[in-house]
Amino acid sequence: MTEPSGSGPLRPLSAEEQALVDRARETCRVLYEGAVVPHRSCGIALAETFCLATSPYQSLRRGGITGRGECGTVVAGRLILGQLLGDPDPTGAVTPALAAAAETYEQLWRDRLDRGAAPGDSVVCNVLTGQFAEFRSAPRHAFCTMLATDVAGVVCEVLLRHGHVPDVAPLPSAE
């Protein structure tokens, strides 16, 4: 993967950038995991991590509610990039920043997400979670916590690499 300008391999993140990526990862982990604060669904945890309104992200729970859609974390990442880098004019064209960020995002999440023992390369929720005997199990929950955590880091990194310093919510504490 090359730097967004096409000038070569990805540069190392600065210490400040890496700290923001780490905070995004940890905030999302805590929100999704549900041990410190009440559990949020994957899309909501991601939206809340980046200080965005959460209601539209409810539909991403369990792969579009049905399990037959793409993993809610992957879709949430795309939506967050669109909200933060897209043209606010509903008739506007895709912004160059969003187009470039989408390319980086697709490459990074594909390279970095651990699909566990899921067959093939599908990111449909039922395919990813089908590796667990029970959907409502601790191993599946830990797996999805990892996916949400990893996508939060990728989204934050992509935003930084494309010139946008995102608002990242502070680490949640017990409510």
Tens digit of each residue's pLDDT (9 = 90 or more) over 114-143: 999 999 899 999 999 999 999 999 999 999
pLDDT tens by residue, 76-86: 999 999 999 99
| Whole-angstrom distance, CA of residue 41 vs CA of residue 146 | 13
Closest C-alpha to 36, from 135, 143, 129, 145: 145
Place of tokens 């929100």: 31
pLDDT tens by residue, 26-45: 999 999 999 999 999 999 99
pLDDT tens by residue, 51-65: 999 999 999 999 999
Q: Residues 97-120, buried b or exposed e (16+ Cβ, 10 A)?
A: bbebbbebbeebbeeebebeebee
Structure tokens, 49: 């991590």
Q: Let me know: does 60 contact 75? Beta carbons within 8 Å.
A: yes
